[in-house]
Amino acid sequence: MEKIYDLIIIGAGPAGLSAALYAGRAQMDVLVIEKAEAGGQITSTSEVVNYPGIEEISGVELGHKMKKQASSFGAQFTKAEVLDMDLTGDIKKLITDAGEFKSLSIIIATGANPRKLGFLGEKEFTGRGVAYCATCDGEFFTGLEVFVIGAGYAAAEEAIFLTKFAKKVTIIAREPDFTCAKSIAEKVLKNPKIEVHFNSEILEATGEEKLERAKFRNNVTKTIWEFKPEKNESFGIFVFIGYEPQSKIFKDKVQMDKYGYIMTNEDLETNVKDVYAVGDIRPKKLRQVVTAVADGALASTVLEKIIEEKRERLGLKVHKIHEEKSKEEEVKENINSQKFLSEDLRSQLREIFKKFVSPVKLVAILDEYKELSGDIKNLLLELDELSEKITVSLYKKGENISLEKNIDAQDYPTIAILDSNDNYRGVKFTGLPSGHELNSFILAMYNIAGPGQAISEELLKEIETIDKPIKLKIAVSLSCSLCPEVVVGAQRIATLNKNVQAEMVEIFAFPGIREQYKIMSVPAIIINDKEISFGKKSMDEIIKLIKKNV
């Protein structure tokens, strides 16, 4: 019988994860669909200090804990992108790049992305000085000056975070005062490394290959002033002026306001029966983690009784999803902490590796003069222990010249993935694939071993038409939550077309590449060692970028 979920949640930010937790706890059969990393916008926040009961935690860790907790109550997760949907009728249908899913109800939790300001030079210098994520890109501006545009909570918080790297942070705010909590504002004003200009705005940013000048205006005095760094240095401009709802896919499916936010009633139901919207995707006065998780909890609680009655009315079997873990199991999950991979993660990976159709070989070319090589060796040997379908071969730089030539190794240490016939499939990881990029690494193995991530026929045909050699280097930082989607997309294309190579490069481990291409933001895609493109991109957008440069 075809699978019909009680609830499908689109998006795995705090609102979606909270909804998954409450739905799982209510014995609902729930699936969470997320195209990127779980945690949403919170993963780009360096520290969360205003969540009740938690004095301080990183956004990445909070997102991880939320997902783990939802999973412990039976919530299932799949990485996919929703392409289309039919929300009419009792059974809702979602068309994704991983196949079709059906459910009795839907919760939309796709959130919002940083809004662009539109000043002169913003587009041209995005990735070369203009940025939108302090956690992802702050380290690029170590010892340099940076400007933060905005007056809200995000601008204030990220300005404080950027003082860890920048020698000076200047806030440019159109408003006459901060619009965030007074406690945060006072913390900013007392920081000796932060200068604040209220009633001001940025007019333009200019330069050659990097930012060299910026013009600002005081809107009260009408004074225009220019900033130019000393000693021919560059500088950074971080924009934090709010968010744009990620709701385009739902146009004409549910009711929205003029800004693209999805309208709901007090129970968070949209104008479509059994379709709900939670978190930053709907209009609200306060956009914080605490309000997002409240939305998720409310929507799932309302749906609990509705779904029970709906299953009974439609004559569908009621599932028992969750079984409590024993204390002994919880303790067992926390042992072996000395390993590179936690016991919990090792258990998850064993289950993934069981799905491999064919073996894969991980070959690493190590540089004995780089500390990173030791970490890579330890990671690969631990993976080798987890499955008979994974074999590992380690070589010193220069020890196996033919292999280095075959995988087109240029920087070391590097890891290439070979298939069961020892064929190189165009996928490399130069640097340590840890942090957010560990998922990319596992998915690359899965895609080469098979069955691989599902892909639409339309995308597959587009990939197959690439008939000239394309070499992609995806520059990432391990703290970047936006990077894995680009790495996974590019490498999936490589596994499906022998003309394409896709290499992840951990940019802070290879400063020469960073300097060569003047990279000051991630993710960055370098095409055939010449052209460069910045920012998060879907697989479809990567294909268009490739064809533009063929």
Distances (CA, A) of 270 to 90, 107, 113: 15, 10, 21
pLDDT, one tens digit per residue, over 228-274 is 998 788 999 999 998 889 999 999 999 999 989 999 999 999 999 99
pLDDT, one tens digit per residue, over 426-484 is 999 999 998 889 989 999 999 999 999 888 889 999 999 999 999 999 999 887 888 99
State the average pLDDT over residues 485-513.
94
Instruction: Convert 66-90 to b/e letters by CB count within 10 Å (16 or more is b).
Output: bbebbbbbbbbbbbbbbbebebeee
Q: Do residues 103 and 94 lie in contact, with contact meaning Cβ atoms separated by under 8 Å?
A: yes
pLDDT, one tens digit per residue, over 96-152 is 888 899 999 999 999 887 888 999 999 889 888 999 888 778 888 999 999 999 999
More confidently predicted of 352 and 47: 352
Q: Taking 80 as the threshold, does the pLDDT of residue 522 lie above it?
A: yes
pLDDT, one tens digit per residue, over 58-93 is 777 888 889 989 998 999 998 888 999 999 999 999
Question: DSSP of 43-67, one letter per residue?
Answer: GG-S-B--BTTBS-B-HHHHHHHHH
Q: Do residues 96 and 80 lie in contact, with contact meaning Cβ atoms separated by under 8 Å?
A: yes
Distances (CA, A) of 255 to 61, 261, 272, 293, 494: 34, 9, 8, 22, 39
**7-113+249-314 and 331-549 agree in CATH topology:** no
Cα angle 118, 124, 130 (rounded to 5 degrees) comes to 70
Half-sphere exposure of 45 (CA within 13 A, CB side): 26
Q: Taking 80 as the threshold, does the pLDDT of residue 48 lie above it?
A: no
Q: Taking 80 as the threshold, does the pLDDT of residue 320 lie above it?
A: no
pLDDT, one tens digit per residue, over 22-37 is 999 999 999 999 887 7
Share of the chain above pLDDT 90, in %: 65
Question: Hey, how many other C-beta atoms are within 10 angstroms of the C-beta on 283?
Answer: 16
pLDDT, one tens digit per residue, over 393-411 is 999 999 999 999 999 999 9
Q: What is the number of helices (H) and of strands (E) in the chain?
A: 15, 26
Question: DSSP of 338-399, one letter per residue?
Answer: TSSS-HHHHHHHHHHHHT-SS-EEEEEEE-TT-THHHHHHHHHHHHHHH-TTEEEEEEETTT
Q: Taking 70 as the threshold, does the pLDDT of residue 45 lie above it?
A: no
Which amino acid is located at 394 in the chain? L
What's the pLDDT at 156?
Answer: 93
Domain positions in the chain are 7-113+249-314, 130-241, 331-549
What's the pLDDT at 329?
Answer: 47
Domain 130-241 has CATH 3.50.50.60: yes
| Cβ neighbours for 213, distance < 8 A, ≥ 6 positions apart | 205, 206, 207, 226, 227, 228
Residue 102 main-chain phi, psi, to 5 deg: -120, 150
What's the pLDDT at 231?
Answer: 79
Domain 331-549 has CATH 3.40.30.80: yes
Distances (CA, A) of 476 to 15, 278, 346, 505, 524: 27, 31, 24, 6, 7
Rounded Cα gap, residues 506 and 490, in angstroms = 15
Helical residues (DSSP H) of 288-333, grouped into ranges: 289-314, 327-333
Share of the chain above pLDDT 70, in %: 95
Q: Taking 50 as the threshold, does the pLDDT of residue 418 lie above it?
A: yes
What's the pLDDT at 335?
Answer: 38
How does strand 243-245 pair with strand 112-114? antiparallel
More confidently predicted of 520 and 331: 520
Cα angle 143, 144, 150 (rounded to 5 degrees) comes to 125
Q: Taking 60 as the threshold, does the pLDDT of residue 334 lie above it?
A: no
Q: Do residues 543 and 459 lie in contact, with contact meaning Cβ atoms separated by under 8 Å?
A: yes
State the average pLDDT over residues 511-534.
90
State the average pLDDT over residues 47-57.
79
Alpha-carbon Rg for the chain in angstroms: 24
What's the pLDDT at 380?
Answer: 95
CA dihedral (536, 424, 401, 442) in degrees, to 10, reads: 50
| Cβ neighbours for 516, distance < 8 A, ≥ 6 positions apart | none
Q: Residue 428 belongs to what H/E stretch? A: strand 424-430
Residue 103 main-chain phi, psi, to 5 deg: -155, 155
State the average pLDDT over residues 344-353.
89
Average pLDDT score, the chain: 89
Q: Taking 60 as the threshold, does the pLDDT of residue 209 lie above it?
A: yes
Beta bridge partners of 148: 171, 238
pLDDT, one tens digit per residue, over 154-168 is 899 899 999 999 999
Rounded Cα gap, residues 373 and 414, in angstroms = 9
**CATH architecture, range 7-113+249-314:** 3-Layer(bba) Sandwich (3.50)
Q: Do residues 365 and 413 lie in contact, with contact meaning Cβ atoms separated by under 8 Å?
A: yes
Q: Residue 194 belongs to what H/E stretch? A: strand 194-197
What's the pLDDT at 240?
Answer: 92
Rounded Cα gap, residues 232 and 217, in angstroms = 23
pTM, rounded to two decimals: 0.65
Q: Residue 448 belongs to what H/E stretch? A: helix 437-449
Q: Taking 70 as the threshold, does the pLDDT of residue 181 lie above it?
A: yes
What's the pLDDT at 325?
Answer: 44
Peptide bond just before 283 cis, omega within 30 deg? no
Helical residues (DSSP H) of 114-232, grouped into ranges: 134-137, 153-162, 182-190
